[in-house]
Amino acid sequence: MNPLEHKYVEGSPDAPVLLFLHGTGGGPDDLVPLARELSPSSALLAPVGPVSEHGAARWFRRLAEGVFDYEDVVLRAHQLADFVVSARKEYEIENRRLVAIGFSNGANIAAAVTLLRPDAIHEAALFAAMSPVPSPPQHDLSGTRVFLSNGEHDPMAPLASADTLVRTLRERSAEVVAHRHPGGHTVTGNGLVAAADWLGRAK
C-alpha cells in the first residue's frame, strides 16, 4: 500500500501523467482545472501532503513563514519520491512520461525531489517555487527539464530564492525555463500558457 493518501485518474496513454502537488492547506482536487488547461487528456496522480500545520496539509515542516525545516524537506522529498516510484508500478505507468506540477509548497517539494531524487522526477512545472534545500548533492541532471513561473512581487517566494533554484538546477545541467510575471503568489493565465507551451515542447 502506498504511504501517501492520493487519488489517481486515468487518462490517455499518449499524454504525460501529471503528478499534482498542492499548496499549503490544499488537496488532490485543487489543481485539476490547471491540469485540464495544461494537458486535457492526461492521467492525474495527486497525493496529499503528509504534514499537518494547524490542520492544513503540507509537504514538509517549516519553522516560520519562508523558513524551512531542511531536515524534514529531505525526509519528505524521499518519501514522495518513493511514493512516485511505487505508484508508477501500481498503476502500470512506468513507461509513460511523468511531469510534476506544483504550486507554492507543492512546487517546493517537487523542486526538492528533482534535485535529490532525479530517478523519481525529471520533469517539473513549478509555480511560485523557492530554493528548497541549501547545497543539494551534485547529481547530474542532464535530461531534466524544469519550468518555473514566479511573481516579481511575491512576498512568500522571493525572486532571489527562485533565482537561486534556477542557478542550482542549471549548474547540474538541467534545462530550465524561467517565466516571470508582475504579480504575487499566484498562478497566472500567462504562466499557464507558457507552461503548456513548455510541456508540449519535450523532445
Please state, in angstroms and rounded to a whole number, the distance separating the CA atoms of residues 112 and 76: 9
Residue 137, C-beta contacts closer than 8 angstroms, at least 6 positions apart: 115, 116
Known catalytic residues are 104, 154, 185
- CA angle, residues 111, 85, 198, in degrees to nearest 5: 45
Dihedral angle sign, alpha carbons of residues 183, 186, 189, 190 = positive
Residue 181, C-beta contacts closer than 8 angstroms, at least 6 positions apart: 149, 150, 151, 152, 188, 190, 191
Please state, in angstroms and rounded to a whole number, the distance separating the CA atoms of residues 44 and 104: 19
Residue 147, CA distances (Å) to 53, 110, 170, 194, 195 in order:
28, 11, 12, 9, 7
Please state, in angstroms and rounded to a whole number, the distance separating the CA atoms of residues 155 and 168: 21
